[in-house]
């Protein structure tokens, strides 16, 4: 029997980046759902908590930090691993993400191998 695919929720407002990331993840065997903004990401995560949430930081309306805060406050999504994906670089950005409960931080631009390595690492930690 085939092992079930890990489910990734990708929340990214830039359609080009979203499409590229989705393609990379699907090519690597993951099941990928997408959300175009923060509110849509919150709704999707609550409706069907993913195995990993990849979350852009800078989005109009509801930032990635706001989404993370909201999901970590809910019982059903508190344990979902969140990896921020952002053009904001530096230790201060990662510290802010970690303070909110994020499990990882990936700086744009990134290599496809790096994206997959981060997802695999998060999934391995979760499996325990």
Residue 82 contacts residue 55 (beta carbons within 8 Å): yes
Q: Which domain holds residue 120?
A: 7-127
Q: Tell me how far apart the alpha carbons of residues 38 and 62 are, in angstroms, rounded to a whole number.
A: 5
pLDDT in tens, 74-128: 999 999 999 999 987 777 878 888 899 999 999 999 999 999 999 999 999 988 7
The enclosing domain of 121 has a CATH number of 3.40.50.2300
Provide the number of structural domains found in the chain: 1
> Does 1 reside within a domain?
no
Q: Tell me how far apart the alpha carbons of residues 52 and 68 are, in angstroms, rounded to a whole number.
A: 12
Structure token pair of residue 126: 């979760």
> Does 35 reside within a domain?
yes
> Does 87 reside within a domain?
yes
pTM: 0.94
Going from the C-alpha of 92 to that of each of 3, 80, 89, the distances in angstroms are 38, 23, 8
């Amino acid at each position: 029997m085939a092992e079930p695919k890990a489910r990734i929720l990708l929340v990214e407002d830039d359609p080009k980046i979203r499409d590229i990331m989705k393609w990379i993840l699907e090519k690597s065997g993951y099941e990928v759902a997408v959300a175009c903004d923060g509110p849509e990401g919150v709704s999707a995560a609550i409706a069907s908590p993913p195995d990993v949430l990849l979350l852009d930081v800078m989005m109009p309306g509801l930032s990635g930090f706001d989404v993370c805060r909201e999901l970590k406050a809910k019982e059903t999504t508190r344990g979902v691993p969140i990896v921020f994906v952002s053009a904001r670089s530096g230790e201060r950005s990662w510290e802010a993400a970690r303070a909110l409960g994020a499990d990882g931080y990936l700086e744009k631009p990134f290599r496809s191998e790096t994206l997959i390595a981060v997802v695999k690492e998060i999934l391995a930690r979760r499996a325990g």
